Chain A
Amino acid sequence: MTQAVLVVDDEPVIRHLIEHVLARAGCTVVTAGDGEAALGVLDERPDVRLIISDLGMPVLDGFALLERVRERSGPPVLILTSRGDEDDERRARALGAADVITKPFSRQDLLRVVRPHLEL
């Protein structure tokens, strides 16, 4: 049985790139373009084991999504941050982010952070 990962990013290229890399690593990937859409996906897909979310997004940003997921005891959330944005990283961790992936990242970087949360 493959493991479902929800990728949340308003940048389609990044979203599809992560989807592609994780799919090749054996994951089932579902995607959403903002936090609000991500919550809808979670309602429909209780099998999601991990969320990878950007921070800056329209409608509902990554911090708000993180809070809402924690409130409902949802799956662990990995946050994508930009290098040098240490305030964002601290805030994300304080809100319960399971880990942080700093952009730009390579496939190896992504899989290294994702692996401990899945059985890859």
Chain B
Amino acid sequence: MARFKYIFSLILTLISFCSFGQVATDSSLYAPAKVKEPLVFKGVKLGVNVGRFSDYLFKPERFSYEGSVDFNLSHKFFGVIEAGYSEIALEEENYNYNSEGYFYKVGMDYNMLKKHPTDYLGMGFRLGRADFSHSANNVLIDDQHWNAETLTIDSKSYNTYWLEVSFGIKGELLKNVYFGWSALVRISVAGRKDGQFQAIDIPGFGKGENNINLGANYYIYYQIPFNRK
């Protein structure tokens, strides 16, 4: 009889454990776990930096253009490729300076907007590289003892690398057309100094004499109407 008592007690214990387990896993008492959605390709935007057109008014010695392609991943991350060309012909009393070259930037933007995810407010970073050549002529070195003479500094090609951090906005003001603005900080990484003479302006980076350059971009983008509802 005592044996049956023990078996009955054991069965009751097991049943109570099972019941406890059922209560503990009752999903109605807990918030559902968030499912991390994989990044989904949402589209491509093509952009033109219209800010560079202001050079015609404010920096007539410079001619430059810049464009971009960005790849939208779930409206949250944007892979960005930017490229452009810059040419400077500076004629001063004591020197003439010419430079021309291309620049390329690769990086990522992070969208902090959650309510209107097709627009953009966020931060980005880029790695930039410029390939360019520059030269100077009619360089007048004037000294009170040495007779003033002009000299020519031969053309030289070289590369510069920099990191760029941006904070900006983009909004869809017309169907598939976005306007955007961003503030930039460019930090020189390598190649800014030339062994022969320093560049006045490095395409895409800005003033060659500075380690850090500040700037702004004004872009118009066209969203390729792909995968859009």
Whether chains A and B associate is: no
Q: Which residues of B contact A (CB under 8 A)?
A: none
Q: Which residues of A contact B (CB under 8 A)?
A: none
